[in-house]
Amino acid sequence: MSFLADRVRSRLSFGEALENDHMSQLHGQDLICVRGERTVFRALDFTLEAGGALILIGPNGAGKSSLLRMMAGLLKPYAGRLIWNDEDALDDMDEHGARLHYVGHHDAVKPVLSAAENIRFWAELRGGGDDGIAQALATLDIRHLYDVPGRFLSAGQKRRVNLARIIAAPAPLWLLDEPTTALDKATIKRLEGAIGAHRDGGGMVVLSTHADVDTPGAKTLDLAKFACSDPLDEEMMV
């Protein structure tokens, strides 16, 4: 089993990896997403460089969450490729998982574990230590919740615990699905700060949002442009 630990550790040296490899890049090529019988989007291309940010906009059902899940590898593209540094990103799912943090609609906060225990579990799974956890608690201003069990946390506090998880153990790619849900204005500012710091360190961020999140120099991807109103037509099947 120790080979496994080594593998995990080698993937976690993200800081070093960034130094050797300034050219980290996530590239989506001609992606098609089909949910049920309906084509959500098609012919979608995007490129995200190290330090870059991509904001996904579009009406409900345009496929923002689907695209994020696709980038995470949770949802297989119907067609098209997802490329990380010239290699197919989804070839080795464990490796892909190690380089990303995903924040979805659910906060994954266990009601019987304290806020700190919740964060610690996810951090330890990725080799994060006490320093990272302390920094995460400070960044999102939840030090006072350290001992509070998850069941006593409000929706906004749970979201803060969930976001603290991604700061506690580093990973180059952040995939944030509506990260500002339930957050107050002050915390949104803190999140913007954290995203800024992450990008300054060479990290990448993809986030979907309806609210305004201040991310200077971010590219915007409007999913409505890739919508396909017709039901799955023959051309697309080819």
Partner 1 sequence: MSAFVTLVKRDLSLAFRQGFDSLMVVAFFVIAVVLFPLGVGPEPNTLARIAAGTIWVAALLSSMLSLERLFQIDYEDGSLELLALSPVALEVTVIAKVVAHWLTTGLPLILTAPLLAVLMQLPNDGFLTLILALALGTPTLSLIGAVGAALILGSRRGGVLLSLLILPLYIPVLIFGVSAVDAAIGDMTVRPHLLILSGLFVGALALTPWASAAALRQSLE
Q: Does 182 bind partner 1 (CB under 8 A)?
A: no
Shortest distance, position 89 Cβ to partner 1, whole Å: 13
Among 15, 59, 61, 111, interactor with partner 1 by CB under 8 A: 111
Closest CA relative to residue 163, chosen from 201, 204, 200, 192: 192
- Map the footprint of partner 1 across residues 27-86, applying CB under 8 A: 72-76
Alpha helices in the chain (DSSP H): 2-12, 14-20, 64-72, 93-98, 115-125, 130-139, 155-168, 185-200, 234-237
100 binds partner 1 (CB under 8 A): yes
125 binds partner 1 (CB under 8 A): yes
Residue 159 touches partner 1, criterion: CB under 8 A: no
How far apart, in whole angstroms, are the C-alpha atoms of residue 40 and residue 33? 5
Please identify, among the stretches 22-30, 54-62, 98-106, 220-228, the one whose residues bind partner 1 according to the rule CB under 8 A. Answer: 98-106
| Of residues 76 and 81, the one with the C-beta less far from partner 1 | 76
Cβ proximity to partner 1, 72 vs 223, nearer residue: 72
Residues in the chain: 238
* Residue bearing tokens 């990290």: 203
SS3 state at 53: strand
18 touching partner 1, by CB under 8 A: no
Candidates 98, 115, 133; CA nearest to 12 is 98
Residues binding partner 1 (CB under 8 A)? 1-2, 4-5, 7-8, 11-12, 72-76, 93-95, 97-98, 100, 102, 104-113, 117, 121-122, 124-126
